[in-house]
A and B are shown apart, each in its own frame.
Chain A
Amino acid sequence: GENVEQHPSTLSVQEGDSAVIKCTYSDSASNYFPWYKQELGKGPQLIIDIRSNVGEKKDQRIAVTLNKTAKHFSLHITETQPEDSAVYFCVTQAGTSYDKVIFGPGTSLSVIP
C-alpha cells in the first residue's frame, strides 16, 4: 500500500540552530502536503502546508520544500526555540478518496536551551 517515510525519528538541536525533517512518499497522485506539530497532551495542529504546483513555501521561521519528481518533501525550522520541541508529522493527501490521507510516523524534536 501507499506509505510515507519520515526521517529522522528523533532530532535534538541546540537552541538557535536549524532543524530539518525529510519525508518520502510513494503515491504519485499525492497533491497536498501538510505538516502537523503535536505538543505534549494535545492533538496535532497544522503549521504549514504546500500544494503540488508549488516548490517551496515559507512562513517566518518555518519553510517547506517539495520535489514531486523525486517524491520527497522537507520541513525546515530556523532559529529553533524551546517551544519548537514537539512531535512533527508529514502528511500526504491525494485525489478525491477520503481515506487517502497518509501520516508519516513522526519526528520527535527536542530543542536544548
Chain B
Amino acid sequence: DVKVTQSSRYLVKRTGEKVFLECVQDMDHENMFWYRQDPGLGLRLIYFSYDVKMKEKGDIPEGYSVSREKKERFSLILESASTNQTSMYLCASSPFPTRNSPLHFGNGTRLTVT
C-alpha cells in the first residue's frame, strides 16, 4: 500500500513565524500535491510538483512556497504565517500520468496560527 506520511498531525504557530510542513511518500511517485481543506470551501490546490525541483502553482499559491529536493519529499512553506492560513493541510502523491491515476493522501496536518 502507498503510504504518504505528514510529519505533524497538529501544529500551533504564531503570526509571522516561518512554518514548514513536511510530506514523504514511499511509492516512488512522480507527482506530489499540497491541498488545504476548509469547511464550505472543499479541497483547494496550493502547489504541485511533477518532478524533483519542479513546482507549479495551483489555485491558491499566495503566501506559500514549496520545495522538492528529493523525489519522495515535498515540503510546504509558509514564509510568514497569518491567521487566515489556519486550516487542514493535505499532502498527496500520484504516479505519472495523473489523468488516469488516483491521488494518495496523507492524514493531514491541522495548523492553527494564533
Taking beta carbons and an 8 Å cutoff, which residues of A are in contact with B? 31-32, 34, 36, 41-46, 49, 51, 89, 93-96, 98-101, 103-106
- Is B48 touching A43 in the complex (CB atoms < 8 A)? no
With both beta carbons as reference points, the residue of chain A lying nearest to B44 in the complex is identified as: A103
Q: Which residues of A contact B50 (CB under 8 A)?
A: 98
Is the CB–CB distance between A45 and B97 below 8 Å?
no
Q: Can you spell out 11 A-B residue pairs with CB atoms less than 8 angstroms apart?
A: A31-B99, A31-B100, A32-B100, A34-B102, A42-B107, A43-B107, A49-B102, A93-B100, A98-B48, A98-B50, A104-B42
With CB as the reference atom, state the residue of chain B lying closest to A30: B99
Given contacts A32-B99, A32-B100, A105-B42, contact A44 B90 (CB under 8 A): yes
Cross-chain contact of B31 among A45, A98, A106 (Cβ < 8 A): A98
Least Cβ–Cβ distance between A93 and chain B, in angstroms? 5
| Total number of residue pairs linking A and B with CB closer than 8 Å | 60
In the assembly, what is the distance between CA of A100 and CA of B58, in Å?
10
Which residues of chain B are near A43, meaning CB under 8 Å? 4, 90, 92, 105-108
Where the two chains meet, the residues of B that have a C-beta atom closer than 8 Å to any C-beta of A are: 4, 31, 33, 40, 42-43, 45, 48, 50, 56, 58-59, 90, 92, 97-108
CA of A41 to CA of B109 in the docked complex: distance in angstroms? 10
Once bound together, how far apart are the Cα atoms of A51 and B99, in whole Å?
Answer: 10
A43-B92, A49-B102 given; name 19 further pairs at CB < 8 Å: A31-B99, A31-B100, A32-B101, A34-B102, A41-B107, A41-B108, A43-B90, A43-B105, A43-B108, A44-B43, A93-B100, A96-B97, A98-B98, A99-B45, A99-B58, A100-B99, A101-B98, A103-B43, A105-B40
